[in-house]
Amino acid sequence: MSIDVHQPLQTVLNAEMSLPGASVYLHTIEIYGMPYEVVANRPYTELTYVEPITHNTPEATAYFDISDRHIKPSKLGRVVLRPGELKMKAFGSGTGSSRILMCSFEDDYFSRVTGLRQWNERMLTRCGNLQSTAIAAIMRRMLVEMKSAQFGGQLALESLTNLALIEIGRLFLSEKSSLPSRRRLAPWQIRKIEESLREVVNHWPSLNELAALCGISAKHLSRTFSESTGMPLSKYSEQIRMERAQRLLSEPHLAVKDVAAILGFSNANYFSAAFHHATGETAREFINRQ
């Protein structure tokens, strides 16, 4: 087992099984009420499942050490994944006992089955409490196989470990695919652009200004905006500008020249021409219809 335990913990190895590319261990762990710390740092990727035995189950918090910096600590759940070569420290307090099922994978085998080779901070924050009903169900079945030692147990465990790896790959790779790609804007960037266009007064943001809000180049913004929204940025900007124009022209206390100034047009004539081009009617015709 790949943990170094600091008092007051006691672990007992109940069963173990060697499989192609993996080993499975079943431990019983006793916690005696004082603060404790567990350090996992062996060069194997480990998937762990916790089954409480007593009613009172101690709570624990864990974090990863990466290049002398800590990933934000998170509460440990029933299913925990620790990528190989990364040190994880867990600490907590309480009294109780649990069964710990641990699958220890050779890194090459883990990467080949899951397709996972690199870990970012977002992924690691999920590892301390892996939210997957499929993986939890597989681990429960593995625990039953380890406790019962039935006919065909080794073959069943081999199939179950591979199935668990497949589910891990699906879980994290689907998350990666849902993240913004380099050819798309992140939701917060689109939101920043829209807020600027809808709230700016006496000025209209340029392409360079909008790009600066998003932290990217103007060229990159022009290229990625239409792929992210299905509309060129220039058309999107004009659409919001004219929506605001119609709303402002509906205000009885605002003259056409006032609306033009609010929306960053240099003069009322330029604004009127743009409004007519976008809506098919002049600003005065729109006002008269209100």
- Res 1 pLDDT > 50: no
Report the pLDDT averaged over residues 196-206. 92
Q: What is the pTM of this model?
A: 0.57
Over the chain, what is the mean pLDDT? 84
Residue 19 DSSP SS3: strand
Q: What is the per-residue pLDDT across 48-96, written as a single tens digit (0 to 9) for each? A: 998 888 766 667 777 776 655 556 667 778 899 988 878 887 777 777 7
Domain 187-289 classification at class level: mainly alpha
Residue 119 DSSP SS3: coil
Share of the chain above pLDDT 90, in %: 39
CATH topology classification for 3-178? Jelly Rolls (2.60.120)
Taking a C-beta distance cutoff of 8 angstroms, is the pair 207, 221 a contact?
yes
Pick the more confident residue, 213 or 63: 213
Report the pLDDT averaged over residues 226-244. 87
- Res 231 pLDDT > 90: no
Q: What is the per-residue pLDDT across 7-19, written as a single tens digit (0 to 9) for each? A: 556 788 999 999 9
Residue 86: partners with Cβ closer than 8 Å, 6 or more residues away: 41, 64, 65, 66, 119, 124
Give me the residue spans of the domains in the chain: 3-178, 187-289
Report the pLDDT averaged over residues 252-269. 93
Pick the more confident residue, 121 or 281: 281
User: Cα(39)–Cα(57) distance, rounded to whole angstroms?
Assistant: 19
Range with the poorest average pLDDT among 115-124, 213-222, 254-263: 115-124
- Confidence grade of residue 272 (pLDDT, cut at 50, 70, 90): very high
Residue 53: partners with Cβ closer than 8 Å, 6 or more residues away: 28, 96, 97, 98, 99
User: Cα(255)–Cα(73) distance, rounded to whole angstroms?
Assistant: 57
If 0-12 CB within 10 Å is exposed, 13-18 middle and 19+ buried, where does residue 150 land?
A: exposed
pLDDT of residue 3: 46
Domains 3-178 and 187-289 share a fold: no
